Amino acid sequence: METGSLHISSYLSSPAVAAATQDLAGGLCRTELWSRLGWLEVKRRYRRTVIGPFWNSLSLAAYAVGIGLVGSGLWNQDIHSYLPYLISGLLVWNMISTIITESCALFVTSNGLLKSIRFEYSVLVYALLWRNIIVFWHNLIVYFCIVIILKPSLLHPIGLLALPGLACVIVASAPIALLCGMLCLRFRDVQTLAATALSIAMLITPIFWPVDALSGVHRLVFIELNPLYHLIELVRAPLLREIAPATSYLVVFVIMIVGWVLALEMFQKFRKRIAFWA
């Protein structure tokens, strides 16, 4: 036990790990910087538009209604229950998939900053997460509109559990964004692979189809062993007036631990090379 503790202590005290940890912690403390960067990016994307980021919400609403009308018949579901299920799942999925997609170009598109200014690289990760949180809150309006029209009974205090669920999703997404950013900076082909993987994951994850549609081995593979399902369920279940299963919290906790361990290991090894790869 003492040998293991000494090994961990020596690992954490190494210069590379200390620099990586300081970057992650220092970047997080620069709240004003990454929050400003995230907000400015949202404003830049919707500059000279009338309703700004609400265009994203309108697109989501049209997409959800269109798919909902087809899906309710395809899966023989009541539209009053299926559409809230669909939109609550799409809210979380859009945020997760956008974080992964944008993280693949995180350092690639910031090569000018990386080569000209010294700053904590993690600031870019936190800015990425923040702007997607902003978009999530805008899109949440679509959920409330659909629920108020179709099933007002879903508006319940249990829905507040979606807030800690959302926090867990963000904490679990941060190391994934950092890993994807470094991998795609070094190997540009990873960006295409990630886009393909997300397209497949969207279909095999219970977003469009109900969870109880599968059973046996298929349920084990595509639901119970699907980390994306558990990430989505932490937010979707409370929005549907349910409590997310303890298994989902456990899986997401494991994702957090494994993700941050891998991210720290990669970051401490290749942090100094990021500017040269850009």
Q: What is the pLDDT of residue 1?
A: 53
Q: What is the pLDDT of residue 11?
A: 54
Q: Give the position of tokens 């109900």.
A: 210
Q: What is the pLDDT of residue 156?
A: 92
Sign of CA dihedral 86, 88, 90, 96: negative
Quick check: 179 pLDDT over 60?
yes
CA distance 196 to 193: 5
Q: What is the pLDDT of residue 250?
A: 96
Which of 110-124, 147-161, 182-196, 206-220 has the weakest average pLDDT? Answer: 110-124
**Model confidence over 92-126: pLDDT tens digits?**
999 999 999 999 988 887 777 777 777 788 999 99
Terminus-to-terminus CA distance in the chain, angstroms? Answer: 42
Q: Give the position of tokens 């249990």.
A: 158
Which tokens in the block code for residue 273?
Answer: 């090379």
pLDDT band at 85 (very low <50, low <70, confident <90, very high): very high
Q: 47, exposed or middle or buried, with CB in 10 Å at 0-12, 13-18, 19+?
A: exposed
Q: 44, exposed or middle or buried, with CB in 10 Å at 0-12, 13-18, 19+?
A: exposed
Contact of 127 with 205, CB cutoff 8 Å: no
169, 125, 168, 104: which is closest to 37 by C-alpha? 125
The pLDDT mean for the chain works out to 88
Element spanning 5, H or E: helix 2-12
Quick check: 61 pLDDT over 60?
yes
Give the contacts of 36 (CB within 8 A, at least 6 positions apart): none
CA distance 37 to 54: 19
Quick check: 6 pLDDT over 50?
no
Q: What is the pLDDT of residue 278?
A: 62
